[in-house]
Amino acid sequence: MAGQGYLVLIDRDDAKKLFAHKEPDDVRNFMDQLTQSKPYRSAQKVLDLAGHWDGIHRCLTDGTLDPDGGEPPLNHAILGGKRLANTPEFVLSFVRPDMTPYVAEALADVRYDDFHKKYLAISPSDYGRALTEKDFEKIWVAFQQLVDFYESGAEELSAIAFAARWR
């Protein structure tokens, strides 16, 4: 499994604070503070994708975890966008507020059959587990949550950050 991942809708002030952090540990600590804060939690500005982000990214791109794989704007939904941290323990990518509507629109156009075909084309050895219908259905449900999350971000013109950690 590639690790636990989550998305965060980030307002302008917090985006400025995030960009002020230069060290990966500082970036991770700031993101932890945001995701655990009552205002972010109560406003539903955090979407926990657990380990499903891995399959979602692969289905939206070229079947790999390459952040540059696939085509924009779909490849920005998870690992694409501006990379603010990339260590063996933590990764953070950032989608600017002006890009969020484009990503949201592209995600809304993804159809079940196409997504399923992309899932079946993933290399099980690269993915680290067998491709099963049960796994796919969990990924599809998480993808639907991702679509709704990006739509919210587009409406608010928020930046969206994706973070994953391995531990």
Tens digit of each residue's pLDDT, the chain (167 residues):
468 999 999 999 999 999 999 999 999 999 999 999 999 999 999 999 999 999 999 999 999 999 999 999 999 999 999 999 999 999 999 999 999 999 999 999 999 999 999 999 999 999 999 999 999 999 999 999 999 999 999 999 999 999 999 75
pLDDT at 79: 96
Strands in 90-95's sheet, in edge-to-edge order, are 46-50, 4-10, 159-165, 90-95, 82-86
Whether residue 57 contacts residue 17, with contact meaning beta carbons closer than 8 Å, is answered with: no
| Domain span at 144 | 4-165
How many domains is the chain partitioned into structurally? 1
Residue 3 in tokens: 């690790």
What are the DSSP calls for the chain, one per residue?
---EEEEEEE-HHHHHHHHH--SHHHHHHHHHHHHHSHHHHHTT-EEEEETTHHHHHHHHTTSS--TT-S-TTGGGTTT-SEEEEE-SSEEEEEE-TTTHHHHHHHHHT--HHHHHHHHHTS-HHHHTS---HHHHHHHHHHHHHHHHHHHHHHHHT-EEEEEEE--
pTM: 0.95
* Cβ 149 vs Cβ 96: under 8 Å: no
pLDDT for res 109: 98
| pLDDT confidence of residue 3 | 86
* CA proximity to 89, closest of 161, 2, 153: 2
Note the pLDDT of residue 167.
59
Q: What is the CATH number of the domain that holds 146?
A: 3.40.1760.10
